Amino acid sequence: MSNSNVFIIAEIGQAHEGSLGILHSFIDALAATGVDAIKFQTHIAEAESSIHEPFRVKFSYEDKTRFDYWKRMSFSKEAWFGIKEHCDQVGLEFLSSPFSQTAVDLLEELNVKRYKIGSGEVTNYLMLEKIAKTGKPIILSSGMSSFSELDEAVNFIKQFGNDLSILQCTTSYPTPYEKLGLNVISELKSRYPKCSIGLSEHTGTIFAGIAAAGIGIDILEFHATFDKRMFGPDATSSLTIDEIAQLVEGIRSIEKSKNNPIDKSDNKEYTELKNIFEKSLAVSKDLPANHIITFDDLESKKPKGFGIDASSFKSVIGKTLKHAKKKYDFLKDEDFE
């Protein structure tokens, strides 16, 4: 990523439940939150799966198999063109993770700007090569990968010269904070210094993204939902629209503070306030003439400039008063012999 701001991606994934109406509602809702991109998943059931796929087949009320689920999550080419056009209209970058060669072909027809590779595809070198040959930037999610597997994937992509970003990710929905792995972000930065580094997270709260922004990341990705009580595999690990707006505001606020360093050695702008809030020396009790000042005789009072500065109190201890002083009178240099 070229700018200093975090590139914020809200992922719809399967939250649309196969409904184009719900999907387009997400686009309009997220456009108002300030995110940079909205990400989908391009599923073409026949190309990516089979009836033998075992993963999460019992969660759905209407799909007998995972293959049936992917079929229901699929959209026609015409529908995808409409989705892309809607994103363009509201100023959101259209992103989608492909899960097959056929899906890459479709996304190329849509002229996507970059590719996001899901955690389960890091070792799918067939698809990685197809994507890399497009020459477009690649965002690689590392959720299920060891460092050795990630090294291999990075080295494989490097030979094609693509701009590469890597995301720390924990494949657990929702992700408990003790498994978030924020420490991995610095490890990724050290291991892959030429790559942009970010976080793809599924805690279902805004705190992970805020923490990561404070540490310093280039990209943040999370799932979006209208309500955590909605049906779907990712609902409980997603952020609501209101939470997303709050997260974006928080991240942009952190960026302002990080992008505008303060010179603590220069406090000229506080000169007027310092004169108001800083203090001058006074006496804490009635004192007679010829009294020798002790520490217990002294008080400090606002404002500064009505006598000796309170910071210079040691300079008057042991000195003798020329004249009597009333309680809380300011002390000046001319008050001493």
Do residue 205 and residue 285 come from a single domain?
Answer: no
Do residue 286 and residue 157 come from a single domain?
Answer: no
pLDDT of residue 2: 44
DSSP string covering 205-274: SSHHHHHHHHH--SEEEEEEES-TTSSSTTGGGSEEHHHHHHHHHHHHHHHHHHHS---TT--GGGHHHH
| Tens digits of residue pLDDT in 80-98 | 999 999 999 999 999 999 9
Residue carrying structure tokens 């030429």: 194
Residues 333 and 121: their CA atoms lie apart, in Å, by 79
Do residue 185 and residue 308 come from a single domain?
Answer: no
**Within a domain: residue 2?**
no
Do residue 111 and residue 197 come from a single domain?
Answer: yes
pLDDT of residue 147: 95
Do residue 314 and residue 241 come from a single domain?
Answer: no
- Quote the radius of gyration of the chain (alpha carbons, Å): 31
Using CA atoms, how far residue 101 sits from 98, 122, 124, 154, 236, in Å, is 8, 14, 10, 19, 30
What lies within 8 Å, CB to CB, of 202 at 6+ separation is: 170, 172, 173, 174, 175, 222, 223, 234, 237, 238
Q: Lowest-pLDDT range, 47-61, 126-140, 163-177, 254-268? A: 47-61
User: In terms of residue numbers, what domain contains 279?
Assistant: 268-335
Do residue 308 and residue 246 come from a single domain?
Answer: no
Do residue 197 and residue 329 come from a single domain?
Answer: no
Do residue 136 and residue 65 come from a single domain?
Answer: yes
Q: Structurally, how many domains does the chain consist of?
A: 2
For every residue of 271-289, which 3-state class applies, written as one string?
Answer: HHHHHHHCCEEEECCCECC
Do residue 132 and residue 218 come from a single domain?
Answer: yes
* End residue of a domain, out of 232, 259, 286: 259
- Report the CATH number that the domain containing residue 231 is assigned in CATH: 3.20.20.70
- Report the CATH number that the domain containing residue 302 is assigned in CATH: 3.90.1210.10
Give the mean model confidence (pLDDT) for residues 50-67. Answer: 72
Do residue 304 and residue 192 come from a single domain?
Answer: no
| Tens digits of residue pLDDT in 185-243 | 999 999 999 999 999 999 999 999 999 999 999 999 999 999 999 988 889 999 999 99
- Assess contact for 248 and 35: CB atoms under 8 A: yes
| Tens digits of residue pLDDT in 117-146 | 998 899 999 999 999 999 999 999 998 889
The amino acid that residue 19 corresponds to is S
Do residue 239 and residue 282 come from a single domain?
Answer: no
